Chain A
Amino acid sequence: MKSVDYDYDVAVIGGGPGGYVAALRAAQLGLRTALVEQADLGGICLNWGCIPTKALLRSADVLRLIRSADRYGVAVGAPVADLSAMVARSRKVASELQRGVAYLLKKNGVEVIHARASLGGAGSVRLENVPDSAHARSFQAAHVILATGARARVLPGLDPDPGSVWYYREALSPGFLPPRMVVIGAGAIGVEFASFYHALGVQVHIVEMADRVLPPEDEEISRHVAAALSKQGMELHLGARMIGSQRAGGVWRIQLQGGVRTLEAEVVLVAAGIVGNHEDLGLERTAVRVERSHVVTDALGATHEPGVYAIGDLAGAPWLAHKASHEAVACVEAIAGGEPHPLDVMRIPACTYSHPQVAHVGLTEAQARARGRAVRVGRFPFTANGKAIALGDTEGFVKVVMDAESGELLGAHMVGAEVTEMIQGYAVAMGLEATEEDLMQTVFPHPTQSEAMHEAVLSAYERALHL
């Protein structure tokens, strides 16, 4: 592979959780590697997605906890939320991690090029906006990995505007706190922002086309989250399509289908899906195929053009950072001559950091039944879990879907405090192909919320101890 004709063995375009991990792994495997990023290392995830939202949501958690301090026997004065301080902290967290990524790339010998890249002819990568005038305007690479990610889908008539129409980027660096907000889209991003702004006192409406919040989740989980959000005081408009939006006097009027309802708010926050960043990459000069804004690949990232690969959000759903990173490693190992197994999509966990948190891995009960599997379903509520009671947060439950015949864990679904930190247990069990017997025999420590994971499996076999 190391041919003198090439400047690099591997060139990665895009420095998000797919791209930078691809570059790190390639360098670890001894390949001459370049990473081209036009903006910030770490991509959307680290700078404008997963990480900064978690920082903001942590602020909301602290606020919520202090407000309920008296329940824990702690007397404090009324807390004051300082939005600009929260945002400043969130930005600081992002920049700290960004420096960490830069350090890792340097340590592993990846050449980082700050520029905009596109594909030239075979094996050629063109560069624009190169800050360093000494740097060449193109180079040759034996393998090019496209990891340019995706961006928010912009709705017609709702162009981003820091004063009134927020997409994730505006929502992560707000200049003010609006009295009222309409969140369009009740997927993970919409529900997380709704949770944050509601905690800060914003009156929140959530509009969702599907008939439930968090549509990819198990229906029971969606129902529970919807009830929890309503109880907190958010207004949900499910099965609702936005048919019109006008702004007058600093107030948006959002018309929902059916004509009955018009919502008013100072800010509209749009979280209505994403589109892949496939434009201006020179793909028209290659055999790479794009379908519905995503590049078509095989299970290990190969496109229709030999030597060109695509991973992460650009290569399609699920749009998750950890999916991108895993695809990156498998793709690079295949390039290096290894024989990695492609990612099993059914074993990718997904987390939503709303209040309450949601996490799942594998099939929902409906999906399992639709596949013709005879299933056993187990549930365990946190109201019966000692640690949850001691923590004063007993909301939510754990649900497992087992194959009745083989005992395979088909899916696990959780809602409640810190469930995002627990789902990995089920992911490990699935990866090792544990059966119900192995899960039952696993010793879960007491007192922890994770005991509910054990009890949920027991309950699927009518053996729960604390129900």
Chain B
Amino acid sequence: MATLLRMPEVSANVESAVIVAWAKAEGDAVAAGDCVAEIETDKAVVEFVSESAGRLGRVLVAAGHEARVGAPVAVLLDDGERDVDVEALLAGQPAGGPLKEPASAGPAGPASPAPAAAASGRVFASPLARRLAAQAGLPLPGLAGSGPHGRIVKRDVQAALARATAARPSTAPVETAVVPEPAPLRVPGDVAVPHSAMRRTIARRLLESKTTIPHFYLRSECRMEALSALRRQINEAGRHVSINDIIVKAVAVALMDCPDMNVTWTDEALIRHAGVDVSVAVSTPSGLITPVVRGVHDKSLSRVSAEIAALAARAREGRLSPQEYQGGSFTVSNLGMYGTTEFAAIINPPQAAILAVGAIERRVVAGPEGSVEVTPMMTVTLSVDHRAIDGAAAAKWLDAFRRVIENPLAALI
């Protein structure tokens, strides 16, 4: 039967908190332990984790609005339950719900902007609002829309940007230790750029990763002459395929070869994945985002290449939908195009591994029988979650990956 999700007491002596953004849209499946929303007190932004599983029903407090601790903020439906009488569920509830409007909502604005994410998870926003949000690096799904039927329009984006500019810059997560306030870092001439919501998300997730996931690192050097030659042939045949596309495909081939690496750690159990969804790190003007290429193991190289190109383009325009960047079981991060020889990447939680790819460069290597040769080489560094994967399994995978890269024809075609 349906239950009410209530505003949790995020820290002692806090009476109310603001829903910064809903991580799930109405209709989305919710697993126990899933983050359903980000909530913010004057001290911190924290994840609101659902203790039970189900499906998110009606959202009662829209993003950007404040609610008292203990007040119902959303309905959690049982699987299979279609809809419930929210009024009946709420009957007998102490007065709660929205406490007050965000300060920036004008007097003429609607009293309770509907969340723009409808039951389908689709975000309703005007083309201009989408573009302005993308240019500012502002994720649309969290915004409340004031247009017809809760559509996000230009004024909503402008109001959110004004709010972001006015907002206090400090929102350290509560789970980190309390440290004394550092001395001000700004000297005259310095400029304080307010964090975008995207920047905050990157900061929170990577801090969580580096502080809660026991990383270990393995490095391998791959000979690239065969792969470079293959790529030349493909491109001469009129199909454009990048080195990175081939690497993504090789990752999937290696993961299918080494199922012990194709896993995700959760507190309850180790999830063994049936297929391979690879996240690809894309740098955008507003920050890093990792769109997901799904079912890479089942797709041809040219299909993978086309999908990466489309996702990267949409990412740079800020037009990715949450489904396009959420999930994924493994990430590829490539800084080779900047000439970086090698680097170690931070795991993209809740994934268990990430491959950091450096530049292809001609190096002197030992040839057969004491000879020396100059050949194109590429260094890759694998970061692994030791909770989920042991060293030997990771080493076997890295060897499998190297073999695919060095003998691409057999593995990829």
Contacts and interface: CB of A to CB of B under 8 A. Distances in A.
Interface of A: 299-300, 339, 341-342, 405-408, 432-435, 437-438
B295 interface: no
Given A433-B127, A434-B126, A438-B127, 19 more contacts: A299-B108, A339-B109, A339-B110, A341-B108, A342-B108, A406-B128, A406-B135, A407-B128, A408-B128, A408-B154, A432-B126, A433-B126, A433-B129, A433-B154, A434-B128, A435-B127, A435-B128, A435-B131, A437-B127
B111 interface: yes
B132 interface: yes
Contacts of A433: 126-129, 153-154
B68 to A, nearest CB: 24
B128 A405 contact: no
Chain B interface residue bracket vs A: 10 to 19
Contacts of B135: 405-406
A299 B111 CA distance: 17
A340 to B, nearest CB: 8
Contact of A339 (B111, B127, B129): B111
Contacts of B126: 432-434
B127 A341 contact: no
A134 B128 CA distance: 58
A84 to B, nearest CB: 49
Contacts of A438: 127
A434 B108 contact: no
Closest 8 A-B residue pairs measured CB to CB?
A433-B126, A433-B128, A339-B110, A435-B127, A438-B127, A408-B128, A406-B131, A342-B108
A443 to B, nearest CB: 16
B146 interface: yes
A432 B110 CA distance: 18
Contacts of B109: 339
A258 to B, nearest CB: 47
Nearest to B129: A433
Nearest to B125: A433
A44 B132 CA distance: 42
Interface string B144-187: 00100000011000000000000000000000000000000000
Interface string B343-357: 000000000000000
25 contacts: A299-B108, A300-B108, A339-B108, A339-B109, A339-B110, A339-B111, A341-B146, A342-B108, A405-B135, A406-B131, A406-B135, A407-B131, A408-B128, A408-B154, A432-B126, A433-B126, A433-B128, A433-B154, A434-B126, A434-B127, A434-B128, A435-B127, A435-B128, A435-B131, A437-B127
A339 B106 CA distance: 12
Nearest to A437: B127
Contacts of B127: 432-435, 437-438
Nearest to B113: A339
Contacts of B153: 433
Nearest to A405: B135
A300 B110 CA distance: 13
B184 to A, nearest CB: 33
B62 to A, nearest CB: 14
Contacts of B132: 406
A425 to B, nearest CB: 16
B150 to A, nearest CB: 13
Contacts of B128: 406-408, 433-435
A462 to B, nearest CB: 20
Highest count of chain A CB atoms <10 Å: which of B129, B131, B135, B146: B131
Interface in B80-131: 108-111, 126-129, 131
Contacts of A407: 128, 131
Highest count of chain A CB atoms <10 Å: which of B108, B110, B129, B146: B108
Contacts of A434: 126-128
A245 B110 CA distance: 55
Contacts of A405: 135
A327 to B, nearest CB: 13
A214 B108 CA distance: 33
Contacts of A341: 108, 146
B110 to A, nearest CB: 5
B140 to A, nearest CB: 13
A342 B110 CA distance: 11
Nearest to A408: B128
B122 to A, nearest CB: 16
Contacts of A408: 128, 154
Interface string B366-381: 0000000000000000
A408 B135 CA distance: 13
Highest count of chain A CB atoms <10 Å: which of B128, B132, B153, B154: B128
A428 to B, nearest CB: 12
